[in-house]
Amino acid sequence: MKRAALALLCFVLLAGCANIPQESQPMVVPGEKPPPAAASAPNPSEGIDSLTLARQFVRASAVPGSNNAAARAYLDDQARANWKPARGLTIIDDIFNTTYDTENRSPDPNVQTVNVHGFALGVLNGDGSFVPNQAPFKLQLEVRKQQATGQWRIANPPPNLVVTNADFSINYFRVPVSFYSPDAGTFVPDLRYVVAKPQSGLAGRVMDLLMLGPSEGLAGSVKNLLADPITIENNVKTADDGSVVVPLTGLTGATPETRNLIAAQIVLSLQTVTSTRIRLLADGAPLVPGHEYWRASELPAYGAASSPSSDLLGLMTAGGRARSLGTGAPVEGPAGSGGYDVAGAAQSIDGKRLAVVERAGGRMRLRVGDYGRDLPQTELFGGSLTRPTWRPAAPGGDASGEVWTVVDHTTVARLVLAPGGHWAQQGVNANEVTALGQITELRLSRDGARAAAVVGGKLVVASVVRTADSVTLRAPRLLQNRDLTNVVDVDWATPDTLVAATSSTSQPVVKLPIDGLRMDAFNSSNLTPPVLSVTAAPNRPIVVADSGGLWVASELGEVWRPHAHTTPGADPFYPG
């Protein structure tokens, strides 16, 4: 009987162990309950005061997984059992203070109120996207001394996890997840953050984000190719041959074109978390017949139409004329010969068209036409026009047919090439952006999904949402609004990276991701502030203009060197 009971017990234990996953997936699918708390977690050091306890609680909150067991260890028994933090995170500066709240002091010596003071950088949403919102931060914690142990514990944990930027960087990994833009025929990066460990589960966590669709800041600008009824049939895993297996289902009836686009979306999204081959399956068969294993190098050049060709060296305006940035020579046609008094210009991404802001009669007006030829006047004019910016050509299109500018700092206008060959003015709903201030610069991303703008001296990024009868700048985000308050110009270095010029003497040129979580300053050597303008493009050096002329650099720490065709008063620009 004893041997039978022991055998039964072993069988139960083994069966239970067989159901324990080898690695946890920290992301909670919407609608599901969070996993139960871990059986054990590191306890706070014995005898620490309530201020130290509060600081360590913030640090422990950055450790993901196991139902936030690391942070839960700092709570009293009741709070530990009832705490259900939201799926997002509030990210604060690394430097923060903990102080006793003297105004709300409890008469009970076993109860203390601790204030956590800091500066919030923004919020990580439940979908893994960071939304900047820089502002002073305060968290009030009630700390109680436990009768049984004499140790201080937190009784009222916050509804949202609070983590420092440094701890967040250690525990989370940034991934540019890709979504398709039918308007541009390319894939648009959507920056997300996933739990970094265990590393073997990164591919599965990225696929979870893909299945959720684009983030709130990009929704409406791109298409979700993996929408219902497509799902992941089983766990994403690494096969014996080292490949990452992604088993999909729900693709019955999907066209070959859709299947190839889905394959590209997955491979592009996973390329930053795995270097192995990716095996794509749909209901057990290859997602794309005859092509079961994939690498990023095998994909078509989807971004070719949204990136300037290497033979387009860029242009500049100087002395009322448009000139080549590569040779310094005037461009062909009236724009280069002095036929127009050129105040600003923009070359289309394909290089075939040119838009020029012309000074005429004390006002500014826009001319648009074929590069190197006479540029017809358009109906667009005003007291001021920002330097134009081009939308990419439509898939299969011969040349770009849409250009934008801002009239008198308040009206975002776009000109569209009409069937009759003239450029017709159409509106843009930019109310969410203009509510933040006057627009002094505007740059469409070269994939057409976003716009970067200088608004009241601050840097703003918004999505471009198109419907059948409207275009809207939506969900604007202020990037680094505490430290970046004197921006004068901006351009797109890559689809998810911006370079901005400022009037600051300490950081005249900076580089930021499109979510603004961090900011890096270029070397300021050789520059004479204020910097007046900047241009950037994929695989191109950064070119800036200061009071002395043009300067070039490629890396953050590189010393700026004079441009080969530097000209005082020049305004450089790459196509786009």
Average confidence (pLDDT) over 535-561: 96
Euclidean distance between CA atoms 92 and 162, whole angstroms: 7
Query: For residue 4, is pLDDT > 60?
Result: no
Residue 395 has a pLDDT of 86
- In the structure, what pLDDT confidence band is assigned to residue 63 with cuts at 50, 70 and 90? very high
pLDDT of residue 303: 83
Mean pLDDT of the chain: 91
pLDDT of 290 reads 96
Helix (H, G, I), strand (E, B) or coil at 361: coil
pLDDT of residue 369: 97
pTM of this prediction exceeds 0.75: yes
> Looking at the predicted structure, is the pLDDT value of residue 269 above 70?
yes
Look at phi and psi of residue 271 and say left if phi exceeds 0, alpha if psi is from -120 to 50, else beta.
alpha
pLDDT digits (tens, 9 = 90+) for 468-480: 999 999 999 999 9
538 to each of 118, 147, 218, 308, 542, how far by Cα in Å? Answer: 37, 62, 21, 8, 10
The vertex-132 CA angle with 472 and 470, nearest 5°, equals 5
Q: How far is CA 166 from CA 69, 94, 345, in A?
A: 20, 6, 42
pLDDT at 264: 98
User: Angle at the Cα of 479 (from 497 to 551), degrees rounded to 5?
Assistant: 50
Question: Over pLDDT 70: what percentage of the chain?
Answer: 93
Which residue, 152, 156, 122, 124, is CA-closest to 139?
156
Per-residue pLDDT band for 106 (boundaries 50, 70, 90) equals confident
Flag whether pLDDT at 20 surpasses 60.
no
Q: What is the mean pLDDT of residues 9-17?
A: 35
**pLDDT above 50: residue 15:** no
Which element (helix H / strand E) includes 173? Answer: strand 172-181
Please report, for the chain, the start and end positions of each structural domain, with discontinuous segments joined by +: 43-171, 173-304, 314-573
Better pLDDT: 10 or 45 = 45
What length does the chain have?
A: 576
Q: Which amino acid, residue 32?
A: E
Higher pLDDT, 30 or 408: 408
Please say if the pLDDT value at position 345 is more than 60. yes
Tokens of 328: 């310094």
> Is pLDDT of 13 > 90?
no
- DSSP labels, 187-218: EEEEEEEEE--SGGGHHHHHHHHHHH-S-TTT
Task: Judge whether residue 518 has pLDDT over 50.
Answer: yes
Q: Would you place residue 87 in the very low, low, confident or very high pLDDT band (cuts 50, 70, 90)? A: confident
Q: What's the pLDDT at 40?
A: 57
Q: What is the mean pLDDT of residues 301-323?
A: 93
For 288-312, what is the mean pLDDT? 93
pLDDT beyond 80 at 11: no
Angle at 71 between CA 69 and CA 76, to 5 degrees: 95
The predicted model gives 63-69 an average pLDDT of 90
What class, spelled out in words, does domain 314-573 have in CATH? mainly beta
> Does residue 65 have a pLDDT over 90?
no
**Which H, E and C letters describe 90-136, residue by residue?**
EEECCCCEEEECCCCCCCCCCEEEEEEEEEEEEEECCCCCEEEEEEE
Instruction: Look at residue 306 and tell me whether its pLDDT is greater than 90.
Output: no
Alpha carbon separation from 420 to 69, 394, 416 (Å, rounded): 66, 18, 11
Q: What CA–CA distance (Å, rounded) separates 351 from 407?
A: 24
CATH 3.90.1570 assigned to 43-171? no
- pLDDT top residue among 243 and 7: 243
pLDDT confidence tier of residue 44, bands split at 50, 70 and 90: very high
38-52, 189-203, 439-453, 488-502: lowest mean pLDDT where?
38-52
In the predicted model, what is the mean pLDDT of residues 482-506?
96
pLDDT of residue 12: 34
* pLDDT for residue 30 is more than 60: no
**Could you report the per-residue pLDDT of 203-253, keeping only the tens digit for each?**
999 999 999 999 999 999 999 999 999 999 989 999 999 999 999 999 999
Cross-strand pairs, 193? 174
The answer, yes or no, to whether residue 291 has pLDDT greater than 60, is yes
Please, what's the b/e burial string for 203-225 (b: 16 or more CB within 10 A of its CB; e: otherwise)?
Answer: bbbbbbbbbbbbbebbbbbbbbb
pLDDT of 31 over the 90 cut: no
pLDDT on residue 334: 98
pLDDT digits (tens, 9 = 90+) for 114-161: 999 999 999 999 999 999 999 999 999 999 999 999 999 999 999 999
